[in-house]
Structure 1
Amino acid sequence: MLKDYLPWIVAGLVVLALVVGGVVLTRVTPEAGGSRRRRPRPPRDHFRNGDDPPAPLKRAGVVINPTKFTDLVAIEQRITASCLENGWGEPRFYETTVEDPGVGQAAQAVRDGVDLVCTLGGDGTVRNVASALIGTETALGILPAGTGNLLARNLDLPVALEAAVSVALTGRNRRIDVGELVIGAAPMDEAPDESGAPETHQFLVMSGIGMDAQIMAGTNENLKAKVGWPAYMVSGLKHLVSPEFRISVKVDDELEFRRRARMVVIGNCGRLLGGLVLMPNARVDDGQLDTVIASPRGVVGWVPVATRVATRRRKGHATLDHKVCKEVRVRTDRPVPVQIDGDVIGEATEVSATVRPGCLTVRVSQ
């Protein structure tokens, strides 16, 4: 009987041997194409929880006016400590010079790849650093270290160093306007001189001609270092009865008008020192400039002007004109001093100012 099933038994064993052999061969024989079989893919969680490299820390570039400090090393150490406490890396420091008060240093910081450019100085340093950042996406952080710190005050930024660093690193971005002042050379009774190349300057706070520039130029630096902003008031009393000059003013598309004046102030924002407000409705992001023309006669003539400033009224005495515009041109009958954000830059007989809306990013409080 076994003989009858022997052929079937042999056939079954052969089939079983072929199956087992095929399985063994598939495990040890390379697949088609000459490549080995891929290893099983590990679970997704295998790539998480500590396997990713940590993200690089953000770094700030700080442009410092070294003339403002007697112990610069200590200041840099405080800033570095504040950066580390806020989760940032150690900052890069750049010092201004007489030849380059901040423009080149800010541009270098951007080329170095910093995530934020801060200023440590007065309004002049802020203005110069900002001019290199206009139209870029790099934000400006303001660490006030000057006498006036007017832009910081108009933006309600803290003055204390550590608090200012914290706002610069963790605050929100705010787009603000920038004023652009072009200085010409033609008196009002003559045609503009096309042969001379005009000078172009940016301002963030205010620019002006006449008495306010004389006040800036006449402020004693030693007194300013000792008492701060009241030094400007001392200089203001000395120039209270400054000489008048005739002006011709063109505001936007309005007709040109003429009058006598003692000073003309063109503002991007309106808050002055000591809590005084010259232009109550001026805002750094309203896309407009505010122009104030003061023409008081004698010391008594300043009383209504001072009252208007103290009460924060936009409309005031007849000797104080207030214009809101996007562009203004002022021509004078003789050269008068010109200041930009507190820095006197010389004399001129013609200035033109325009606004560049929202072209600068500044870090402000949350």
Structure 2
Amino acid sequence: MLSDYLPWIVAGAVVLALVIGGVVMSRVAPDVTAPLRRRRPRPHRGHFRPEEEQQTPVRQAAVIINPTKVTDLGPVRERITATCRANGWGEPLFLETTAEDPGPGQAATAVRHGVDLVCTLGGDGTVRNVASVLVGTEMPLGILPAGTGNLLARNLDLPVGLEAALTVALTGRNRRIDVGELRIGPLEPAEHPEAGPDGAAASAQDEPISTPTPQTHHFLVMSGIGMDAAIMAGTNENLKNKVGWPAYLVSGAKHLISPEFRVTVRVDDEPEFRRRSRMVVIGNCGRLLGGLVLMPSALVDDGHLDAVIASPRGLVGWVPVATRVATRRRKGHPTLDHKVCTEIRVVVDRPVPVQVDGDVLGEATEVTAVVRPASLTVRVSRA
């Protein structure tokens, strides 16, 4: 009987083996259709761009313009914009100074806007006013010279052409420089006189003594007291616009015999000394107009200020001063003192004019200058 069912038993065993093998193979063999079923939509073509291109935003520079120093402002803006784009920067932020706000407000606006660089297009006064907001920060300052002297740019060996100067600002290296801080006015408030036997002085205390509020200004190039400030104040603006820096020579010739004043000077912790003087110049750097050097050892990043106290007697007394400047000698005539310091206090016997970086601030009888080392970042050439 078994032999009758043997073919069916063999056939059933074969079928069972094929079913079991199919199940096993389905679990072991890869599913070639799975990638097709799991395929994601094709990414946008922007997904294949370099990672740096996606994550790096376009940098922006703010350009603060003194409109009194620039003619044809429209074409100048176009040149600046073209230079920014050519160097991979975005559309610049343009801000203009005014008589009421010569730069600090515009600099603060640029910083709040989140720019990567603040540039000035103007003279040393514009640079000073803008820099006063950037002192103590990491925001770099680019200098586009457009003034008469451009002394800071000259001391930093920056180009004076617009495109060349802007290219340095956009692609140059950061350099930390010192800043001078000038305080105009007494260090301590005036005290009331003590009451006398008759009580008169005591009654005067009911009316406070009026004393000028001390003012603090920054300077990047030089601050001056006396004759040099009088020269700045006496320079004809129309002549300066026509002939440039030689206009200062005309004003200087008129003030060579300016009145002397008595000055008391204290340098750092040294004992104070007294002189009869015609001017006191306190410098953060030493190069003047026309290639002249007043302070040969002065550097913008040496952590010191240099001071020159000139006390010539009459026209003949200026000869050794002029010789010293022309020969770039640090030591000179006895009527010319040169001091290197971190702080200097100058008290004069009568009000004299005071200037910082060419801007006349008025008259004063006491000033104190201190250095703030490496407190400002400026863009300079990489070479």
Distance 2:315 2:374 in 1: 39
Output aligned runs, 1:1-366, within 5 Å: 2=7, 5-6=10-11, 8-19=13-24, 48-49=48-49, 53=54, 55-185=56-186, 193=190, 196-366=212-382
Per-residue deviation, 1:27: 9.5
Q: SS where residue 101 of structure 2 aligns? A: coil
Q: SS where residue 100 of structure 1 aligns? A: coil
Q: SS where residue 94 of structure 1 aligns? A: strand
Distance 1:4 1:65 in 2: 107
Per-residue deviation, 1:56: 3.0
Distance 1:226 1:181 in 2: 31
- Paired amino acid for 2:190: D
- Paired amino acid for 1:193: A
- Paired amino acid for 2:142: G
- 1:34 aligned partner: none
Distance 2:64 2:221 in 1: 19
Kept after mapping to 2: 8 A contact 1:86/1:169: yes
Distance 1:27 1:365 in 2: 62
Distance 2:261 2:336 in 1: 15
Give the stretch that moved more between structures: 245-254 or 78-87. 78-87
Distance 1:28 1:159 in 2: 70
Distance 2:83 2:100 in 1: 30
Cα 1:28–1:364 shift into 2, 3 Å? closer
Distance 2:340 2:190 in 1: 28
Distance 2:18 2:91 in 1: 77
**1:257-307 deviations in whole A, cap 9, x for unaligned?**
111110000000000011100000100000000000000000000000000
- Taking every aligned residue pair, what percent have the same amino acid on both sides? 72
- Paired amino acid for 2:16: A
Kept after mapping to 2: 8 A contact 1:184/1:192: no
Distance 1:68 1:49 in 2: 44
Give the stretch that moved more between structures: 46-55 or 295-304. 46-55
The alignment's C-alpha RMSD in Å is 2.6
Distance 1:334 1:265 in 2: 17
Distance 2:246 2:163 in 1: 25
Per-residue deviation, 1:91: 1.0
Distance 2:357 2:8 in 1: 117
Distance 2:305 2:185 in 1: 19
Cα 1:38–1:329 shift into 2, 3 Å? farther
Per-residue deviation, 1:90: 1.9
Per-residue deviation, 1:20: 5.7
- Paired amino acid for 2:18: L
Distance 1:153 1:22 in 2: 81
Kept after mapping to 2: 8 A contact 1:267/1:291: yes
Distance 1:231 1:49 in 2: 58
Consecutive unaligned residues of structure 1, counting only runs of 5 or more, are 30-36
- Paired amino acid for 1:340: V
**1:164-207 deviations in whole A, cap 9, x for unaligned?**
11111111111000000000058xxxx85376431000000000
**1:88-107 deviations in whole A, cap 9, x for unaligned?**
22211100011110011011
Q: SS where residue 315 of structure 1 aligns? A: coil
Kept after mapping to 2: 8 A contact 1:80/1:91: yes
Consecutive unaligned residues of structure 2, counting only runs of 5 or more, are 1-5, 192-210
Per-residue deviation, 1:5: 3.6
- 1:33 aligned partner: none
Distance 1:66 1:72 in 2: 7
Per-residue deviation, 1:54: 7.2
Distance 1:239 1:248 in 2: 22
**1:219-247 deviations in whole A, cap 9, x for unaligned?**
01111011000000000000001111111
TM-score normalised over the length of structure 1: 0.90
TM-score normalised over the length of structure 2: 0.86
Distance 2:271 2:313 in 1: 25
Count of aligned positions: 352
Distance 2:290 2:122 in 1: 19
Cα 1:66–1:326 shift into 2, 3 Å? same
Distance 2:87 2:33 in 1: 57
